Amino acid sequence: MSLRIDRLLADGLAAFPPSQLEDLVGELEIRARTTGLVAPLLVASAIRQISDRLKELDGEGGPAKTMVEALDAAIRVRIPEIANGDPLNAANAAFLLRDDVDSIIRPSYGNR
């Protein structure tokens, strides 16, 4: 795993610097390109979705604590599965992370 992923897992999403999310997306995309693995690309997509939504909500008073906690829980469950799985299992866990993130973030659009 990368140092940024390790830090995200250790510190949690609320304590992770927002600018580091975009850097993490870039690292994951490079890893996907250089390895041919799909899991890093799917994780990058999920992290980008989180980053974009947090930026939007920052201008609206910030995200709900429950949303950040739910995203953090999904990350803490799925990332170790992705990192420790064979490529097929890692891809499956990455799809699940992307779906988890979408199901957590999507309802927040109705709370504008």
Mean pLDDT within 24-48 = 96
Q: How far apart are CA 68 and CA 45, in angstroms?
A: 17
Mean pLDDT within 63-67 = 90
On the question of pLDDT at 73 being above 50, the answer is yes
What pLDDT, on a 0 to 100 scale, did the predictor assign at position 112?
47
Q: How far apart are CA 39 and CA 37, in angstroms?
A: 6
User: What is residue 63's three-state secondary structure?
Assistant: coil
DSSP 111: G
Q: What is the mean pLDDT of the chain?
A: 92
Question: Please, what sign has the CA dihedral across residues 84, 42, 112, 8?
Answer: positive
Q: pLDDT digit string (tens) for 39-60?
A: 999 999 999 999 999 998 887 8
Q: How far apart are CA 86 and CA 77, in angstroms?
A: 16
Q: Domain coordinates of the chain in residue numbers?
A: 3-111
Mean pLDDT within 17-45 = 95
The first and second tokens of residue 22, run together, are 């975009």
